[in-house]
């Protein structure tokens, strides 16, 4: 159980750390669009679409990483006052009964949409646009899968914490220290 948790957690961490570079490319691309438009009076549809692709990719690939680091919005009126064991149960049950069904629903409703996009090799409606719209739409399937995979890791982590596994407790302390590193600087 611990080995599977570590494998998924490390995969999500590497994906998230790699995904952060998309934001750098997005900033560079945005600066390029602004420079071309206002300095050289030139507008590139393809470059503007690249910005959209980068923006979408950043959020679709980064969602699982955000889940791993508990960065999603949580309305914690009751959660904040719960014991650690109750929080772990809430996390497990929330993953099983909220995250997984939502992700499965998204997968089910998006499969025909993405399939038809692939079937027609969908591309931009703009003549000078990008020819890979079907790839962008495929991220509608990738994101829920990544979230479900990380959801499995969250269930394993919380189950190990409930069991009092010393390895997960040490890992959690290490993660907490690295998350807090540099705060207040």
User: pLDDT value at position 78?
Assistant: 85
Separation of alpha carbons 33 and 45, rounded Å: 9
0.75 surpassed by pTM: yes
Structure confidence by residue, pLDDT tens digits, 154-169: 999 999 999 988 888 7
Nearest-CA neighbor of 33 among 52, 51, 20?
A: 51
Structure tokens at 153: 């890791």
Rounded to whole angstroms, how far apart are CA atoms 105 and 141? 11
Q: Of 110, 88, 101, 81, which is closest to residue 157 (Cα–Cα)?
A: 88
Residue spans of the domains in the chain: they are 2-173
pLDDT tens digit string along 29-74? 999 999 999 999 999 899 999 999 999 999 999 999 999 998 888 7
């Amino acid at each position: 159980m611990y080995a599977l948790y570590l494998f998924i957690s490390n995969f999500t961490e590497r994906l998230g750390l790699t995904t952060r570079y998309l934001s750098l490319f997005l900033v560079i691309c945005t600066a390029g669009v602004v420079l071309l438009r206002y300095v050289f009076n030139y507008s590139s549809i393809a470059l503007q679409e690249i910005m959209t692709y980068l923006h979408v990719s950043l959020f679709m690939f980064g969602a699982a990483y955000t889940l791993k680091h508990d960065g999603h919005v949580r309305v914690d009126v009751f959660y904040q006052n719960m014991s650690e064991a109750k929080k772990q149960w809430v996390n497990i049950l929330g993953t099983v009964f909220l995250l997984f069904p939502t992700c499965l629903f998204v997968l089910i409703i998006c499969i025909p949409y993405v399939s038809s996009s692939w079937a027609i090799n969908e591309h931009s409606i703009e003549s000078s646009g990008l020819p890979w719209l079907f790839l962008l739409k495929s991220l509608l399937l990738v994101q829920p899968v990544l979230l479900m995979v990380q959801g499995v890791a969250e269930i394993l982590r919380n189950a190990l914490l409930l069991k009092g596994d010393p390895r997960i407790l040490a890992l959690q302390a290490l993660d907490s220290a690295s998350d807090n590193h540099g705060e207040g600087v």
